[in-house]
Amino acid sequence: MGDYTSMSTYYDVIMTSGYYDYKKIVDGILNQPSANILEIGCGTGLILEEIAKRNPAISLTGMDLTQAMLNIAQKRLESFSQVNLSLQNITDFSLQNQFECVFSYGGVWYFVIDGDQEPLLVSHLAKGEDNESGFDRLAAHVCREGRLLLGIQGPHFDYEKPISTGLIYSQRIEPNEVGFTKHYYLHSPSETLMAQTIHYRTYSFSQAKQLMSRYGFHFQPNSVGNGTFLEFKKM
């Protein structure tokens, strides 16, 4: 299901040590104007904070299923009155608004692009029926002609690297018949500080386009982006 409680305490230190490039991600979102934006799987709010600082006129909503992540987001974003946060699972979420732009970066869904191979859709939802419900709920919250942006990441592989004095982040990937399992660890010299396992489902690009088009989301191959997102339009 994608619960990040175990990682939440260490999430920011791992991500802001080079795992994601938050400035470039936000450039990719703000390359077209939107009056309101929803982030699905907003985590600790690092992207919402960057958008809120750059353009205070945009109404922002973040939703996530992990309370511990949202607690950190709440503190980070408390001075921004244009931001609302909501604890919900994508599979049955409901909000008052429809949005002109919805995005996810490493959140519920994302794409992995390996060299010149076709994009692979990666989902935090390991069950096929949960992906159907998730896109169904999402479709109810995107305006006609609204944009859905799903982040692009490089291929996942096993590695370990130092992230701050004395701490080592590592990850291990185990492929399975529907996708892969990813193990995340943070070690100090003397102990394991964090261990988290997530089961991901994957879809080939043609399966992903078929799945998403059933809920009105159509791939925009000619959209002008900076390579951080693939864009879909809600018809």
Beta carbon of residue 59, minimum distance to ligand SAM (angstroms, whole number): 18
Q: Answer yes or no whether residue 28 interacts with ligand SAM by CB under 6 A.
A: no
Cα–Cα distance, 125 to 122 (Å, whole number): 9
Q: What are the structure tokens assigned to 6, written together?
A: 């175990």
Cα–Cα distance, 196 to 198 (Å, whole number): 7
| Size, binding site for ligand SAM by CB under 6 A | 22
* 182-201 footprint of ligand SAM as x/- string (CB under 6 A): --------------------
Cα–Cα distance, 142 to 100 (Å, whole number): 6
3-state secondary structure of 91: helix
Q: Which residues from 43-82 bind ligand SAM, rule CB under 6 A?
A: 43, 46-47, 64-66, 69
CA distances from 185 to 11, 144, 161 (A): 11, 41, 11
Find the binder of ligand SAM among 29, 38, 41, 109 (CB under 6 A).
41
- Interface with ligand SAM by CB under 6 A: which range of 42-50, 78-86, 212-220, 227-235? 42-50
Q: Which is nearer to ligand SAM, 149 or 166 (CB)?
A: 149
Q: Answer yes or no whether residue 2 interacts with ligand SAM by CB under 6 A.
A: yes
Other beta carbons within 10 angstroms of residue 71's beta carbon come to: 14
Q: Which residues from 119-148 bind ligand SAM, rule CB under 6 A?
A: 124-125
C-beta of residue 84 within 8 angstroms of C-beta of residue 73: no
- Interface with ligand SAM by CB under 6 A: which range of 35-43, 114-122, 155-163, 204-212? 35-43
Any bridge partners for residue 131, and if so which? none
Beta carbon of residue 107, minimum distance to ligand SAM (angstroms, whole number): 4
- Interface with ligand SAM by CB under 6 A: which range of 53-61, 104-112, 165-173, 189-197? 104-112
Beta carbon of residue 148, minimum distance to ligand SAM (angstroms, whole number): 14
C-beta of residue 49 within 8 angstroms of C-beta of residue 77: yes
Q: What are the structure tokens assigned to 171, written together?
A: 């990850």
Cα–Cα distance, 212 to 217 (Å, whole number): 5
C-beta of residue 194 within 8 angstroms of C-beta of residue 10: yes
Beta carbon of residue 3, minimum distance to ligand SAM (angstroms, whole number): 6
Contact positions vs ligand SAM (CB under 6 A): 1-2, 4, 15, 20, 41-43, 46-47, 64-66, 69, 89-90, 105-108, 124-125
